[in-house]
Amino acid sequence: AMDFKLRAATKEDCKEISRMIKELAVFEEMSDQVKISHEDLERDGFCQNPFFECLVAEVPEERKSREGFTVVGYALYYYTYSTWKGPSAYLEDLYVMPEFRGKGIGRGLLCKVAEVIKKKGCVRLQLSVLDWNTSAQDFYISKGAQNLTVSEGWHAIRFEGQHLDNLAGEA
């Protein structure tokens, strides 16, 4: 197992988190979709009523990445509410840099998120996985996750841009 530590992200970590968000977007073949900067993360995650919480995985200096990074993974999540079950959380991103995968860091981040949200009274953790990312699906299912598309037929739906503006304009 690799020597790493997990901790709550600080405002100072936002440049590293932003870097990894871009790496994840490249992996997901959607790099053109990333529109936020580390300044946005600083504003939105470290304000009076933060929109998200984040954990980072850090390796010791002597284990740093080829490019010299010691923050090598992150889990970004936020609180939601289920009208059936109560307080819940949504895991927006779980990412570990490729050269650090398979060393327990992703599992560590996922378990730590579960511990944090359980302490806040959450009864479930939800997330989305791309249909082609079978290794991620297998990882979550091996930890006891249900694939709701398969078991319950849920589909992910989104409004954004002009369509969101149109909805708001009809209010």
- Clarify whether 140 is annotated catalytic: yes
Strands 53-58 and 86-96, by their bridges, are unpaired
Burial class (CB in 10 A: 0-12, 13-18, 19+), 120: exposed
Count the helix, strand and coil residues of the chain and give each as a percent rounded to the nearest 5. 40, 20, 35
Distance of CA 76 to the CA centre of its chain: 4
Which member of 74, 77, 95, 140 is catalytic? 140
Q: Indicate which residues carry an active-site annotation.
A: 140
